[in-house]
Amino acid sequence: MTNDQRPVTTNRRLWLALTLALPAASCLGFGDEGKDFRGPDVDILQPAHGDVVAGGVDILVSAFDDVETAVVRIFIDNVLLVEDRQRPFEATWDTRTTTDGAHSIGAEAEDTSGNKSQTSISVLVLNQQNLRGTPP
């Protein structure tokens, strides 16, 4: 083997080693392919959009992520009600602390990479009179 042939063989081995190593490095977070850029899927399961509510209202949120959901925040009229880090993601809202009328319930889910997703619904609070015309 001549000296001219040796670098070609060495270069081929280096090229092969890099070709095999780079995809593995990407999975370990060394390239964009291994990074998490997508926020969790978040949905308010309870109450439903447009519901009429009164008194204590149980709020239930689902959040799923391809890696891991770190925290779910639940908001009433854009004010933080609770920050929940364990499933099930839920809170109880005492509607007697708000005025009757339309209010928004929002949920924000954040994954362990810091990606966030939000959703919201509207509900109608009627505490002053229920359907029978008596206080709740």
Whether the CA torsion 125, 131, 132, 136 is positive or negative: it is negative
- pLDDT at position 35 is 78
Q: Which fold has domain 41-125?
A: Immunoglobulin-like (2.60.40)
Quick one: CA torsion of 108, 119, 74, 51, rounded to 10 degrees? -170
- pLDDT at position 128 is 84
Per-residue pLDDT of 56-82, as tens digits, reads 999 999 999 988 889 999 999 999 999
- pLDDT at position 61 is 98
Whether the CA torsion 69, 52, 129, 136 is positive or negative: it is negative
Domain ranges of the chain: 5-34, 41-125
In the predicted model, residues of the chain with pLDDT beneath 50 are 8, 15-31, 134
- pLDDT at position 16 is 46
